[in-house]
A and B are shown apart, each in its own frame.
Chain A
Amino acid sequence: MRTLAARNRPHSRIQTGMTIVNTAEIPLLRVPLELKAHEMARQLAAVQSTVSKGKRVYLNALAVYAVHSYLKWLQIETDLNFSDSFNPVKNAISNIADLVIPDIGSLECRPVLPGETAILLPEEVIQNRIGYVGVQFYDRLDSVQLLGFAPSFDSSNPPQQLAVAELMPIDTLIEQITRLEEAISFLETDDPVAVQVRSQIEARSTSNIVAQLEWIYRTREDYEWRYAGGEVLAGSAAGGEFTRESADRADTDLQDLAEALLEKLAGIWRDVA
């Protein structure tokens, strides 16, 4: 059953290099940018120190706003006010374009200007992101196009940029959000595994743990799930190699729980895909 789950993992195909997505062949969704978006972007840019910083902030804000509009169409709630990209001070000290999806996580929405073929990934946008959306700009700023999506990386060895040609179609973003949503709802049920996991993670953020488990499901072989998942439940980071030594340290009970949980989630996620 787990072999089947692994075979159906949609993202893993990309990572093993079997499928190269050519976004140029797929029609892209266009998102109109209303005056309100420009007004918000202008206010954020107006308080920055230089024109070039102002421009960075303006374009980041438009990219975030566009993804917010798109997700709103699909009835996925987002919160601009809680997003650092709409905070003038955070913008002054870092190059960020995050969009908060309440209870799910943050999505990074990076502008791609005409002629650019890669998305810059500043260090400040590597951690705490469920993924990256490339947003294509043109000279006319009345609309943008959604280029594609990349899910989160291993934060211990992140790339400095993402090639536009390597992005996956934007509907994989929906798949990713839906997966995280369904995993979080599962953890709220009376299923014995869910109840046990809740008592284990206590006050820690469910969305953060779910994001780490999803990353394991997506990038690890299934025989690694119990060790990697056990470490997540135990409270250590999911990044890095899972050595025999660290595996030995993790509690066997936790590994059993992690394995049971990941099998449940794999079942749910298989249905989503």
Chain B
Amino acid sequence: MSVSLQILFGLIGGIFGGMGMGGGTLLIPLLVIFLNFSQTASQGINLIAFLTMSLFSLFIHFKNGLVVLEGIYKIILSGIVFAVMGSLLANFLPTSILRKIYGVCLLVFGLYTIFEILKKQRKNAKK
């Protein structure tokens, strides 16, 4: 039962991820709420699952020539330092606190998305 649920949740997260909406943000709460995974474990699972998936999508994007490589190394290099710090922090914080931080970020992202949609709609209405 739990195996099929794991695959199902993976599918749901993957569908949103494949549409370019950050499916990981859905996969993690699904795993935590319904399968009682710890926050840290589901974040790690999400990272690896989406690494595998983005391998495919990167390949396709490169083929279509959509990737801009100019100057990107600056973002990546500074990002790597902070990525290590962030993930160390995630692994040493107690899971209950991490879970709350994650929840707040989800709320902010969700509200932001709705806000952007409303803004776009208002712009279209003006035209």
Q: Is B truly associated with A? A: no
Spell out B's residues near A (CB within 8 Å). none
Spell out A's residues near B (CB within 8 Å). none
